[in-house]
Chains A and B, each alone.
Chain A
Amino acid sequence: MPHLADLYRTASLLLRDRHEAEDLIQDTYLEAWKSFHRFEMGTNCRAWLFKIMFHRLHHVRRRLVKTSRVVTIDDPDGQVELAAEPVVPQEIRDEDVLNALAKVAVEFREIVLLADVEEFSYKEIAETLRIPLGTVMSRLSRGRKLLRQELAEVARSYGIDPRPKRAGAAEIA
């Protein structure tokens, strides 16, 4: 089954529920099967499947919005603040990075996963999520930074100073 593992891992990290992720994957492949005549051979079928999955995912989200209060996070301007740049630990454990990712709002988490794990281009992500290219860029920048901040927090919770021990390595203010 092509791309099943990629789709499932992404789904489970976004929904954070194994059963909901399995349902989403089943719906995705069923939808793909039904609309296979619309798939253009020679185009990127992996991107096509992700597009279907995210379309279904947004249906799931809309359902969740009706039953719970969801705080929508507007895009910040994506400005990088030098002084506030989080310093991540030198060694990052798998569980720490996954826990940190889980704390990142889903609007940013999905883009980080699509860009950094699935290695889709900005254009492909924009098409998959049906959002403008500029929003992809700003959300990715913000999402990555939130992830670094969470990792820096994890390190601090262990009582570890994540800053590398280098003489004279002053941050630019």
Chain B
Amino acid sequence: MNTLSFDSKRCERIRQQLDSYLSNELLVETATEIVRHLESCEACSRDLESRMRVRDALQRAVAKQPVPDSVRAGVLRNLRESQSRSLGTTGRRWAVGLAAIAFLLFSLFGGEWLSLRRGQQVIASILKLGISDHLICAIKGHNYPELANSPDQIRKKLGASYAPLLRVVQERLPGFEVLEGHVCSVPGSDRKYVHFITRGQGTILSVILTERNGASLPKGKFLASAESAGLSIYEDHLSGMEIAGFESAQYFAFVVSDLSQHQVLQVARELAPALNEKLHVTGHILTPIANDGVADSMNLRILTETTQCDEKSRCRVQEQRQNA
């Protein structure tokens, strides 16, 4: 067996899972394996990109399809007619009346369920990607130095927009040392993460921020596990990792670690109010980096170089470039 046939088989195996990867149906471990393969395989990466392009184009095209007014009018007319036909006896009238009230309530609040469901899907997806980022960048990629980078180095890597967040993370995570801070992304996704890697309580803990891009955490108690100064803290766990987070005006913020659920929630509760305040105060400069015309060149360079950095060697190169 030569190298090419080995790679072909690996590519074939990966591509057989790309559809499930695209649908966010894989376990984090499998998704991580795919992500690592995509890093080194241009053909598979191009394949995924092509599949994402088609899916995005389809979503856009379908969303633009007009819905004639006659559809809604027809449904209402049909319901009214059915209700009139049903109004035979007093007993049935009560039953129909109650059903109509229930359906009316359902109609009024159904949108809430939709937004909740979509919110859950979005959050599940973001949480999974957040955990992937922690696993790939911090745990497997070991993208942090044994001796913590200096605050100046970290601020430089974060760029002017995100540098002010460092102090918040330092101050609100007592017992945790901030080893690293940068902007990164998971291969196969356009989502960017502001990533702080900290060490404490015998393990590594990540603080990750990512743009909301209009998405919202669902309002209500369904995913919220706790509150902190009026902020709802959301929690989930995957692959032995606990994740807890909240939303600010523009960002989702998460704490990810293999600490216990209680510990991770506690850290998130400590961090949330101050981080939210800082994000709020500096919100006007925290524009998305990809569209940030005023982002300084250093910021963009760091983003480029840390993007998809899941290999230690690559990050060493990055470190060398930045030191040079």
Give the B-binding residues of A (Cβ under 8 A): 1-5, 8-9, 12-13, 18, 22, 25-26, 29-30, 32-34, 36-37, 39, 44-47, 78-80, 82, 85, 87-88, 90, 92, 94-95, 97-98, 101, 112-113, 115-117, 119, 121-122, 137, 140-141, 144, 147-148, 151, 164, 169, 171-173
Contacts and interface: CB of A to CB of B under 8 A. Distances in A.
A116 B8 contact: no
A4 B67 contact: yes
Interface residues of B, number: 54
A140 B106 CA distance: 31
B34 to A, nearest CB: 13
Given A26-B75, A144-B51, A9 B65 contact: yes
Nearest to B11: A172
Contacts of A117: 58-59, 62-63
Contact of A22 (B46, B70, B102): B70
B79 A29 contact: yes
B67 A8 contact: yes
Contacts, number: 148
B294 interface: no
Contact of A97 (B7, B8, B54, B68): B54
B106 A169 contact: no
B57 A97 contact: yes
A43 to B, nearest CB: 9
A119 B106 contact: no
Contacts of A78: 16
* A interface: dominant SS: helix
A92 B114 contact: no
13 contacts: A2-B107, A5-B67, A8-B67, A8-B71, A25-B75, A37-B102, A45-B106, A46-B110, A94-B64, A97-B57, A98-B61, A98-B65, A172-B43
Contacts of B16: 78-80, 141
Nearest to B110: A2
B160 interface: no
Given A30-B79, A80-B16, A148-B50, A22 B74 contact: yes
B113 A140 contact: no
Interface of B: 4, 7-8, 11-12, 15-16, 18-20, 23, 25, 42-43, 46-47, 50-51, 53-55, 57-65, 67-68, 70-72, 74-76, 78-79, 82, 99-100, 102-103, 106-107, 110-111, 113-114, 117-118, 121
A95 B68 CA distance: 18
B11 A2 contact: no
Given A12-B65, A45-B110, A92 B43 contact: no
B121 A119 contact: yes
A3 B114 CA distance: 8
Contact of A18 (B8, B63, B68): B68
A4 B114 CA distance: 11
Given A33-B103, A117-B59, A172-B8, A80 B118 contact: no
A81 to B, nearest CB: 9
Given A2-B107, A46-B117, A9 B75 contact: no
B11 A82 contact: yes
A173 B11 CA distance: 10
B66 to A, nearest CB: 9
B11 A147 contact: no
Given A1-B75, A33-B99, 12 more contacts: A1-B76, A2-B114, A4-B75, A25-B71, A26-B75, A46-B114, A82-B8, A94-B60, A94-B61, A144-B54, A144-B55, A148-B50
